[in-house]
Amino acid sequence: MMMKQLLLSFSALLVFLLHCTTTIAQAPAKSPKPKSKGPANVTAILEKAHRFNSLIRLMENTQMGDRINTELATASGGLTLFAPADSAFASLKAGTLNSLTDLQKSQLVQFHVLTAYNSLPQFQTVSNPVPTQAGDTGKGHFPLSITMGGNQVNISTGLTNATITSSIYTDGQLAVYEVDKVLLPLEIFNPLPPAPAAAPKKAAAPPPPVLAPSPAAPVANITSVDASSAMGLMIRHAAVSFGVGAIAAFFV
């Protein structure tokens, strides 16, 4: 800065002394480019709110933050991000994120990004399932349903029922809403239901009504395992059947 000013002064002086024409005096007087408003920076928005550190970390690990920023600069329809706060991540079963592959981590983040900008009132007329960046909204994959009543916006994945707790940012192009839960997609979390999480609910619930027959449940192959793990698999299989049945019921 100082250097540049000195340089400029010096060249000005030079010009004066030599009585040169302006051509030589055109030193690169680099004035800082006026910062264009540009698309929003989703990471900066989340940082400013101070309670999305887990999400920021996940977005950094998966490079999804950069991707969202790039898409905001190029996509015309905008994006909507459902941002679970740190407390939502903290209430996940221990190890939930660590058990995921890199691809699954990316998909988890993508599942929180709707492929269009939505103002809060627009959720009233949204048609379900709502497309997310994770893709396939078919049953068992990445379906996401949004229902609005009064001022409440509910989001359901078939595994998670969440609600929007606040609006963090909206500019007509990017909307960031805080949600009270991490939205768990069926594609990633269904076939291996964490038994301890399902157990208390089963115990508390009344005997399940007759469930709709479940379509083609993924069945573990127990032909080549020993007796003790076969037992474990059978229990797991029972849990999977229950989970699939419950989901089938959910979608009926």
Ligand X SMILES: *[C@@H]1O[C@H](CO)[C@@H](O)[C@H](O)[C@H]1NC(C)=O
CB of residue 246 vs ligand X: minimum separation in angstroms? 8
Does 149 bind ligand X (CB under 6 A)? Our answer is yes
Q: How many residues belong to the chain? A: 252
Residue 9 beta carbon to ligand X: minimum distance, rounded to whole angstroms: 33
Residue nearest to ligand X (CB): 149
By CB atoms closer than 10 A (0-12, 13-18, 19+), residue 252 is: exposed
Judged by CB under 6 A, does residue 70 bind ligand X? no
Residue 69 within binding range of ligand X, rule CB under 6 A: yes
Side-chain-facing half-sphere of 82: CA atoms under 13 Å = 33
Closer Cβ to ligand X, 25 or 148, answer by number: 148
Residue 248 touches ligand X, criterion: CB under 6 A = no
* Contact region with ligand X (CB under 6 A), list: 99-107, 144-152, 209-217, 232-240: 144-152
Interface positions, 203-232, toward ligand X (CB under 6 A): 219, 221, 223
Cβ contact 50:42 at 8 Å: no
In the complex, what is the shortest distance from the CB of residue 219 to ligand X, in angstroms, rounded to a whole number?
A: 5
Q: Is there binding between residue 125 and ligand X (CB under 6 A)?
A: no
Site residues (vs ligand X, CB under 6 A):
41, 43-44, 47, 69, 147-149, 152, 154, 156, 161, 219, 221, 223, 250
